[in-house]
Amino acid sequence: MTTQDETGQNGAADDASNRAGGGRGGVAGELHAWLGRHREEMLADLAAYVSLETPSNDRTLLDAALKWLDGWLAARLGPPAATRLVDGGTRGEAGGRGEPAVYGDVRLNDYAGLGEVPVLLLAHYDTVWPAGTLAAWPFTVDGDLATGPGVFDMKAGLVQLVWAVRALEAAGLPRPPLRLLLNGDEEIGSPLSRPLIEEAAESSAAVLVFEASADGALKTARKGVGIFQVAITGVEAHAGLEPAKGASAIDELARAVRHLHDLADPAAGTTLNVGVVRGGTGSNVVAGAAHAEVDVRVASQAEADRIAAALAALRPHDERAAIEVRGGWNRPVMERGPGTARLFALARDVAAGLGVELEECSVGGASDGNFAAALGLPVLDGLGAVGAGAHARHEHVSVRGMVERSALTAALLNALTGP
């Protein structure tokens, strides 16, 4: 496969680009025209999907949505060559409290294609929106814009993908074998699905992620994310009568917060944010406990290592106090490696066949693509919707963009087919 070629051979890449772009009859344009004729059907699918509420913490709603997705996928793509369901209620523990965790199930479908090695397609079906959101904010279309909870992040992306595969089938064009992974825990860090994503990625040629685009740009790099908790134990004492007998956990926390913020290095892409602090029991009590929650974003593994070392080295100013750092790295860094660079170059050539000047970018947010990239796989993220407002009430997508991005995906899959 072209994206796996480390030798810099351009012939295969040129052949793939010609297949999908202006060469050989303008395949991308033909796919776009077919999808344009099915715009209303795409929109109807999106309306049905967005009208299913899928909050990450509601197993009942997630189960109902996945049942609908299973039926919809079978109707649109036919039965998969193989399928696997991983129960979200049988793994892990929640919050360290010992009770069984309950996550949305993970569905893995394999679809036959030309060749032996599949392309992994990642899409999550959970959203950040709580049950009941639809009552005040239903799916709505106004001109070119469609809005509703989860429409941008990331339900439109899956609809685009499915219609891209349908377009290839209608045109009689080849594509590689596809492995579609749908998870219902992405918005809470993918605790159940991470090992499944990594397992699927290891046996794949490339990974395409159908998260929303960044103002139309694909995401070829993402920061790694760390979620840490700093717990400080002090010594309580009467603040007026015997203050010297106390060791203030809040004083220690204040010093730690200042130190943590000083570790930020914007030039290196490293940010630290202490977003939550708690401590003490009363203004007349030297605080015996304090707690902080810290969000860390890094653009390289070297910076992740530096921050991890700094957190491990935190020590109290007062030796009577104690500092404990909990948590860890939620997602590894998604660095733009050579394989990803070649994959983007292919997508850019494909987009040119649609008259689109495709751009790439690096973003601070993480996705399931981070897991695959950390294993050395070429990853293209942001192949989903063109729009804006992720996790916000103005979340929306461009309907015209859905057609265009579906055509881009179809032509890219065709280009990724082995010679």
Q: Where are the alpha helices (DSSP H) in 247-334?
A: 249-262, 301-312
Determine the pLDDT at residue 410.
98
Beta strands in 223-359 (DSSP E): 224-233, 237-238, 271-279, 285-286, 289-298, 322-331
Q: Is the pLDDT of residue 331 over 50?
A: yes
Q: Which run of H or of E encompasses 163?
A: helix 156-171
> Among the residues of 275-398, which ranges form H helices?
301-312, 338-352, 369-374
Residue 238, token pair as written in the block = 């009467």
Q: How distant, in Å, are the alpha carbons of 154, 213, 240, 305, 405 from that of 210?
A: 7, 8, 59, 29, 10
SS3 content of the chain, % helix, strand, coil (to 5): 40, 25, 35
User: Is the confidence at residue 348, as pLDDT, over 90?
Assistant: yes
In this prediction, residue 90 carries a pLDDT of: 54
Cα dihedral 37, 42, 43, 45, rounded to 10, equals: 150
State pLDDT tens for residues 122-179.
999 999 999 999 999 999 999 999 999 999 999 999 999 999 999 999 999 999 999 9
Is residue 26 very low, low, confident or very high in pLDDT (cuts 50, 70, 90)?
confident
135 within 8 A of 380, measured Cβ to Cβ: no
To 10 degrees, what angle do helices 399-415 and 156-171 make? 50
Domains of the chain from N-terminus onward: 2-222+334-415 (3.40.630.10), 224-331 (3.30.70.360)
Contact present, 257 and 292 (Cβ < 8 Å): yes
Asked whether 308 and 333 are in contact (CB, 8 A), the reply is no
- Tens digit of each residue's pLDDT (9 = 90 or more) over 174-229: 999 999 999 999 999 999 999 999 999 999 999 999 999 999 999 999 999 999 99
C-beta of residue 236 within 8 angstroms of C-beta of residue 288: yes
Checking if the pLDDT of 14 tops 70, the result is: no
Q: Are 358 and 351 in contact (CB under 8 A)?
A: yes
> If you write DSSP's letter for every residue of 82-111 in order, what string do you get?
EEEEE-TTSS-BSTTSSSBP--EEEEEEEE
How far apart, in whole angstroms, are the C-alpha atoms of residue 31 and residue 175? 13
SS3 72: helix
Per-residue pLDDT tens for 64-104?
A: 999 999 999 999 999 999 999 999 985 444 334 445 678 99
Report pLDDT digits (tens) over 337-347. 999 999 999 99
Choose between 24 and 236: higher pLDDT: 236
Q: Which residue has the tokens 């609809």?
A: 159
